[in-house]
Amino acid sequence: MVAPIYTSAAPDGVRKVMVKESGCFADCAVDVVLAGKWMNTTIASETDCLVEFAHAAWKGTVVSVFIDGFWCGQIRVAYDTATGKPINFASTEDWLRRDIVSAYKITPQELATKDGNVLAWVTYDGDGKARRATREFQARHRKRPRQ
């Protein structure tokens, strides 16, 4: 069983979303798994992916997840846990962005470097320079080194 590198619990405490990274020797796979009382459901997955940043935000029974992955790019998924169906990510993006700003205490000056776009601020540019978002995500959530 692969331990999650990121977990976010629903406000009701019944469900949680987990980001799992596995098989990283030759080809990393990332799965976004919704865990409930009786079953787990994979709501998104990608191969050739190393997680640089991940964040989930909940509004009632809806979870919105953003992942910045090295090689695979961005994973964006929104899911209504009450209906068991994916929903349009764009409908959740505003409150996900606000939650990221709050969780990472992003300043207006930092956002100005990316024209106010929070998701651009947390996305690795591929220029070899470490980002605060990536460093903080790693410190908060990666309790073990990559496999």
78-127 pLDDT, tens digit per residue, is 999 999 999 999 999 999 999 999 999 999 999 999 999 999 999 988 78
Which long-range CB contacts under 8 A does 20-28 form with residues at least 24 apart? 21/49, 21/50, 21/51, 21/146, 21/147, 22/147, 23/147, 24/50, 24/146, 24/147, 25/147, 28/71
pTM for the full predicted model: 0.90
Query: How far apart (Å, rounded) are the C-alpha atoms in residues 20 and 6?
Result: 7
Mean predicted lDDT score pLDDT of the chain: 89
**Residue length, the chain?**
147
Confidence (pLDDT) at 94: 96
Residues 75 and 69 sit within 8 Å (Cβ to Cβ):
yes
What residue ranges do the domains of the chain occupy?
A: 4-141
